[in-house]
Structure 1
């Protein structure tokens, strides 16, 4: 023992008086309120220290707590409690000016120490007992006021153990150590530990000598620090601003949800028809209910910290987009019945995810357009153009509209101009998911209606197609003209005509008019020889298309949309199954899908009946061919006196072939560093005939 490092004698304990922390004032400072409680605790610690030092023969021993002398052993034997009087023997008397129990002080759960007393509010929300609140205060005291450390070391009879122990906490609370009800408050299922507010360390020690620790985040909160837990850094996102009410059924749904949120904790799962729809509805409902929320991404490894953060701030937990295997996360979150937990995902809820089912709701879909929400996001920047027309095709949810508005302002600032419709459209397109690019070829339209040279009838039908895309929510939704049976609000069109008659160009023009990107799907590359693979490939495309504001173009639709045949072998059976699947999937599609075919008669009648429009692209006559030649040459430097009329009359070419002929002539002229001549155009037209295997006028037998 002589080699032991000497330690100072137990500290002289003074009864707090004039140095007692001031009471929390009208400002409601949380730190001041907590210090008031610690002042009361210090009085209790003083009482217990004086009680133990009164007859302790080792009180003045500088090595007390490091070894056990004979005098201490005899003292323990003389004071050993017996029978049922243990609680009376263990309870120290109160000294003048200090309370006998912590539960008798104004610092207990039911009696706040001031306007800023966060501990009292937390105890009320978590339904902590007065004993729980007192134990929590005892545990956190050394982390807030270091003068408690030597006092706790003395009371633990071990100067190295400067945190409260289970036994010390019970002594300070005036509760007998053998009381089963009191010991149960330290069980892992008891509120303090189950809610993440208290840690009982050193499980290998006897129960009464196990150390107590309050989490740093809890202490920071009680002192007024609202910085989120370090484990949640990078996982928390701000909730999007609530979108303005539009007076629709969706708004009525949100108001009902807000009323339920106002009543108290709720666990709900919103299945969203499209990514962002559920988050937009939750943002609106939480704002209407006056409930703050923590929006977290991928919280699987930090659920305890997330729930504790929600409890500390009396906030809801919002998780938009669940992991691929959501069961463990849903199970952990739905087990917290005292916290509002709101989940949203496009998948239907699976009862196997959790034994405790949440309230399962279908989130309302966002209408296309939503000019009021866009105007709220853009403010006065939306005054310079027709906002309603510009945003009509877009169905952005969550915080996508605010982000698109920010992007539009940034694009306008880069261009040095006010915000225009083009800026808004480009920003909105960038907010759409781009997963389709792995399945289809993306075309960013750079054409308009002036680039189409078509007869009046197909031109009128194309404009009607764009009109249907803009007003489908009003007609099919508000006016309830949907066919029912699970049919979506998509727009389906078939473009039929020979190759080169303008089908793909027309789809590009429609997409440009709507301000959307065009994705071209080559169905010949989607069809797979293995059973079921074609359907999987198509489902991936439709799933991505449902998340994207775009026009979907199925080229060579005959490959899948062909007529179903009589089943003569297994190949016919599975080919018909593919067609049946595609028929059902198109009916439930909510986007804009266009199909092209070179021969309309090849398309199954079941598909044709479900199409909104069938546009026939006739082979151009001489007058239209002349218009196509002139349009193709409108920006090309030509020699004087060029007349395309003979070419239009003699060469029966479709629009695509005429364009190729003009491109050939332009290259010939560029190679000479000259303008395009009539001979260049003639050579271009002849080459198109040769490529098609046709006899060229003026050659052979001509």
Structure 2
């Protein structure tokens, strides 16, 4: 009713029954919240009254603007505070007790036997701090831990607004005169407290004794038992990958590196051939040494915070992959002689990066296969198929094997079945993502050996090529049959034959058998009219192919791998330089590269000498042509009784042309809504002859 007074049972407009501050339409939780606020209000009132009791300045109208000696003595009589943070025994537990906060605990400062761990003492031992350093640091951080130090520091600073320790106050508390040069030197920018990021001297415009001291929040959190990393490193720290079983050479390297790390802080630069090799070696060495590490792929501008975090926890720093201009980062990290720093990058170490040279090592290369690592990652899922044959072509490093195993399980779960070899191959290919696509066309093979119609000799050679790709590490590495001289462990093959004889298809079949993607190099993106640019483009391709599990195909390779000629002008000289570069680069290549040519005689003999296999693709005879026609019609709806034998006999077509003829016949049948007839096939064959400019046999009929 309109005449009701506030406070009666009927609420005023815009007011809920839950209380005078509840808004109209508030959710049901509002009364509960208002109840909690009422409890909080009562506790705040009680706290004010309790602290005012016995305070000589309680009735002073200038309270808070200055501190008298009597007020300071009152503060000292009420110290130390209780564990709840209040001013004396029996104090109220505070408003948080009934507001859902629960009792506060300091879990991080307790050891296993219940004793309080002195993190400040441990930090002092690691950082080489003196007793004076520790005392100054303690004086500086006191207000950040116990607020009762603030008014006391204000009184001692003779300025109620300066509630932190100053240089002069800290030295006074340590009974050291402010004019002592040795004491002042401990607060220099190069002294441990400031150089290690443990203490900040602020207000440079003031006289030195009057400058305020502050301690980073992260250091205070650490000393209180909080191991949450610095906020500046949020999103930059990654967990270290769990080391997987490796071959004997990699295990020996990890043991030697671990021994070196246990001898004291070191800076190590590992050059890796493939991404992940260095990180895998580092993870194994850290595990053997029993050291924790901060894995930070991109420190950015936060190197000081990263170094401080490492010092607080006594951990190493791992940086995989240096920036394009690594000098500033490497210099900053190598200057920290008290922290173990492990760097890894494909580039060799450059002495110009830092005057403090790290220990430079070559990371052990990841072998193809690595069955033990795959079995550890897949577990019992690896028992359902031939694991060794499945993973033989892959050289995944670091945690890529584990990620591929997880992806394979996810694919199997999506398919509703167990993990198969196909799942593992697909997952492994995806972990070997490449930058080759900017220079090459990617083909995901969808063929197999049954799609090849070839004589026995080239077919046997192709299978041998796949065999070499699987076992090259054992033969060239373990059995020491490498030619030396920096020769890589790549597999190189040349496919020679007329157009349409199956060279590109064979490359795709080999890639499919190995479970790899095929990259067809676009020669238009390589050859450049400017001197030296062609070599640069080729180097990018070979470098990317070295670190990618894939098959590289140079189609129509005559344009790049052609014969060198007699030097008659500058063009010949530069062309020969390109060939010389290619010869050297092929020898150091570690991947799988296939070259195709329509005329083998066009390829320089120096290239053929470096090839593992040269496969000649003959023009198909009538029997092979008949097999090609029948294979092309396997999945095509055809008329009953159709026989392509006359076509195979009368039309001399290569496999590619036969496929094109079948495609033409299929379109003709689809256009009229029927099946492929002999007439459709004949028309397809005739069109292939006409495209080639050849006379069509039997124009009058078949």
Q: Normalising to structure 2: TM-score of the pair?
A: 0.85
Q: Would you say the 8 A contact 2:67–2:155 is kept in 1? A: no
State the match for 2:178 in structure 1: 177
2 CA distance for matches of 1:29 and 1:673? 78
The residue correspondences of 1:343-362 to structure 2 (distance < 5 A) are 343-362=343-362
State the match for 1:340 in structure 2: 340
The residue correspondences of 1:95-114 to structure 2 (distance < 5 A) are none
Deviation at 1:142, TM superposition (A): 0.5
Deviation at 1:300, TM superposition (A): 2.9
1 CA distance for matches of 2:574 and 2:80? 91
2 CA distance for matches of 1:582 and 1:662? 40
Deviation at 1:536, TM superposition (A): 1.1
Q: Would you say the 8 A contact 1:21–1:32 is kept in 2? A: no
State the match for 1:582 in structure 2: 582
Give secondary structure in 2 for the equivalent of 1:360: strand
1:612-651 CA deviation, whole Å, 9 max, x = no partner? 0000000000000000000000111100110111000000
Give secondary structure in 2 for the equivalent of 1:237: coil
State the match for 1:627 in structure 2: 627
1 CA distance for matches of 2:536 and 2:520? 18
Deviation at 1:434, TM superposition (A): 2.2
The residue correspondences of 1:462-481 to structure 2 (distance < 5 A) are 462-481=462-481
State the match for 1:119 in structure 2: 120
State the match for 1:315 in structure 2: 315
Deviation at 1:409, TM superposition (A): 1.3
Give secondary structure in 1 for the equivalent of 2:317: strand
Deviation at 1:13, TM superposition (A): 4.0
1:226-276 CA deviation, whole Å, 9 max, x = no partner? 1111111111111111111432x2221111001111111010100001111
> For structure 1, which runs of at least 5 residues remain unmatched after alignment?
34-112
Deviation at 1:130, TM superposition (A): 0.8
State the match for 2:223 in structure 1: 222
Deviation at 1:390, TM superposition (A): 1.1
1:406-454 CA deviation, whole Å, 9 max, x = no partner? 1111111111111111111111111113211110000000000000000
Q: Would you say the 8 A contact 1:29–1:116 is kept in 2? A: no
Deviation at 1:523, TM superposition (A): 2.4
1 CA distance for matches of 2:172 and 2:209? 10
Q: Would you say the 8 A contact 1:517–1:550 is kept in 2? A: yes
Give secondary structure in 2 for the equivalent of 1:447: coil
1 CA distance for matches of 2:598 and 2:107? 77
Cα separation, partners in 2 of 1:626 and 1:30, compared to 1, 3 Å: closer
Deviation at 1:18, TM superposition (A): 8.3
Give secondary structure in 2 for the equivalent of 1:301: coil
The residue correspondences of 1:157-168 to structure 2 (distance < 5 A) are 157-168=158-169
State the match for 2:327 in structure 1: 327
Deviation at 1:15, TM superposition (A): 5.8
Q: Would you say the 8 A contact 1:492–1:592 is kept in 2? A: yes
Q: Would you say the 8 A contact 2:272–2:364 is kept in 1? A: yes
2 CA distance for matches of 1:700 and 1:450? 36
State the match for 2:150 in structure 1: 149
2 CA distance for matches of 1:379 and 1:292? 26
2 CA distance for matches of 1:18 and 1:125? 30
State the match for 1:384 in structure 2: 384
Q: Would you say the 8 A contact 1:28–1:115 is kept in 2? A: no
State the match for 1:537 in structure 2: 537
State the match for 2:438 in structure 1: 438
Cα separation, partners in 2 of 1:32 and 1:288, compared to 1, 3 Å: closer
Q: Would you say the 8 A contact 1:511–1:517 is kept in 2? A: yes
Q: Would you say the 8 A contact 1:28–1:116 is kept in 2? A: no
1 CA distance for matches of 2:62 and 2:397? 72
Q: Normalising to structure 1: TM-score of the pair?
A: 0.85
State the match for 1:205 in structure 2: 206
Cα separation, partners in 2 of 1:8 and 1:170, compared to 1, 3 Å: closer
What is the number of residues matched between the two proteins?
617
Give secondary structure in 1 for the equivalent of 2:636: coil
1 CA distance for matches of 2:191 and 2:64? 41
Deviation at 1:6, TM superposition (A): 4.2
Give secondary structure in 2 for the equivalent of 1:236: coil
1:441-476 CA deviation, whole Å, 9 max, x = no partner? 000000000000000000000000000000001111
Deviation at 1:31, TM superposition (A): 4.5
State the match for 1:657 in structure 2: 657
Q: Would you say the 8 A contact 1:30–1:117 is kept in 2? A: no
1 CA distance for matches of 2:687 and 2:387? 47
1 CA distance for matches of 2:556 and 2:537? 16
Deviation at 1:120, TM superposition (A): 0.7
State the match for 1:375 in structure 2: 375
Tell which deviates more after alignment, 405-414 or 660-669. Answer: 405-414
State the match for 1:234 in structure 2: 235
Give secondary structure in 2 for the equivalent of 1:492: strand
Give secondary structure in 2 for the equivalent of 1:283: helix
2 CA distance for matches of 1:131 and 1:267? 30
2 CA distance for matches of 1:29 and 1:629? 77
> For structure 2, which runs of at least 5 residues remain unmatched after alignment?
1-60, 85-104
State the match for 1:100 in structure 2: none
Give secondary structure in 2 for the equivalent of 1:383: helix
State the match for 1:514 in structure 2: 514
1:136-169 CA deviation, whole Å, 9 max, x = no partner? 1111111111111111111111111100011111
Deviation at 1:115, TM superposition (A): 4.5
Give secondary structure in 2 for the equivalent of 1:128: coil
Is 1:552–2:552 an aligned residue pair? yes
State the match for 1:66 in structure 2: none
1:534-563 CA deviation, whole Å, 9 max, x = no partner? 111111111111121100000111001111
Tell which deviates more after alignment, 424-433 or 301-310. Answer: 424-433
State the match for 1:451 in structure 2: 451
